[in-house]
Amino acid sequence: MAFTLYSLLQAALLIVNAIAVLHEERFLRHVGWGSDQGIGGFGEEPGIKAQITNLIRSVRTVMRVPLIAVNSITIVLLLLFG
């Protein structure tokens, strides 16, 4: 049960990396989660699939540049301190 704050940070970094790696064209379109695949009209309430699709797209857009920095720092730290 030694689930520390550090392991939470590691898990969060890995999950955000995983979301950022999902390619729009090669993968999400085939599953049906592409960002241009009919997310619903303007007035109706978006369903869960539309929310997830929006979340994936926004995470990829927002976190691309900070992820480069955080990943580089993590690589350097892991190389130095193991």
Partner 1 sequence: KRRVPAAAPRMADPHPLFDDTSAAGSGGAHRGYGAPPPAASSSSSSSSSSLYPPPAGFLSEPVSSLAVAYGSSLAAFNLLPQLDRFIPVGRLKYYFAVDTVYVGRKLGLLIFPFLHQDWQVRYQQDAPVAPRFDVNAPDLYIPVMAFITYILVAGLALGTQNRFSPDSLGLQASSALAWLILEVLAVLLSLYLVTVNTDLT
CB of 39 to partner 1, least distance (A): 13
8 binds partner 1 (CB under 8 A): yes
Number of residues that bind partner 1 (CB under 8 A): 13
Which residue, among 25, 23, 20, 47, has the nearest Cα to 36 in the 3D structure? 25
Axis crossing angle, helix 48-81 with helix 5-21, rounded to the nearest 10 = 120
Residues found in the chain: 82
Q: Contact letters (x/-) for partner 1, 30-69, by CB under 8 A?
A: ---------------xx-x--xx--x--------------
State the Cα–Cα distance between residues 68 and 82, nearest whole angstrom.
20
Residues that bind partner 1 (CB under 8 A): 1-5, 7-8, 45-46, 48, 51-52, 55
